[in-house]
Amino acid sequence: MGALLGVEFRRYLARRTMRVAVLGAITAIAVAGLITFVVSQRPTAEGEAEARVERQKAFDACVRGDLGIDPEDVQPGQTIEEICGQVVSGPGFSAPQFALSSLPSVFVGTSVPLLLLAWVLAASFIGAEWHAGTVATQLTWEPRRMRVFVAKAVVSIALAAVLTVVLQAVLGAALVPAAAFRGSTEGLDEAWLREGLGVLMRGAAISAIAAALGYSIASVARNTAASMGLGFGYLIIFEQLIAGLRPGWQPWLLVPNIAVFLSGDSNLGFIDRSVGEAGLLLCAYAAGAMVIAAGLFVRRDVT
Partner 1 sequence: MTVIEVEGLRKEFRQLRGRSPVAVDGLDLSVPQGGVFGFLGPNGSGKTTTIRCLLGLVRPTSGRCRLLGADSTAGLRSVIRRVGSIVEAPTLFPGFSGRRNLRLLGRLDGIGDGRVEDVLERVGLTARADHRVKTYSLGMKQRLGIAAALLRDPEVLILDEPANGLDPAGIKHVRDLLRRLGDEGRTVFLSSHFLGEVEQICDHVAILSRGRLIASGSVSDVLSKGGVTSLTVKLEDPAAGVRALGQAGIEASLDGDAIRVRRPPSDAALVTKALADRGLYLTELRPEQVTLESVFLELTGTSVPAAGLSAPPPPPAPPPPRPPSRDEG
Q: Please report, as ranges, the residues that interact with partner 1 according to CB under 8 A.
A: 3-4, 6-7, 10-11, 14-16, 132-134, 136-144, 299, 301-303
C-alpha–C-alpha distance, residues 133 and 300, integer Å: 15
Minimum CB distance to partner 1, residue 22 (Å): 16
Distance CA 16, CA 169 (A): 23
Nearer to partner 1, 53 or 302 (CB): 302
Nearer to partner 1, 31 or 225 (CB): 225
Least distance in Å: CB of 225 to partner 1? 17
Residue 48: CB minimum distance to partner 1, A:
56
* The Cα angle at residue 119 between residues 5 and 34, in degrees rounded to 5: 105
Could you give the maximum distance between any two Cα atoms of the chain, in Å?
74
User: CA-CA distance, 34 to 237, in Å (whole number)?
Assistant: 35
Q: Find the shortest distance in angstroms from Cβ 21 to partner 1.
A: 14
Residue 156 or 164: the one with the smaller Cβ distance to partner 1 is: 156
Taking a C-beta distance cutoff of 8 angstroms, is the pair 271, 249 a contact?
no
From residue 227, alpha-carbon distances to 120, 130, 220, 289, 293 in Å are 8, 13, 9, 12, 12
Nearer to partner 1 (CB atom), residue 4 or residue 171:
4
Q: How far is the CB of 25 from partner 1 (least distance, A)?
A: 20
Residue closer to partner 1, measured from CB, 136 or 169 = 136
CB of 97 to partner 1, least distance (A): 45
89 vs 137 by CB, closer to partner 1: 137
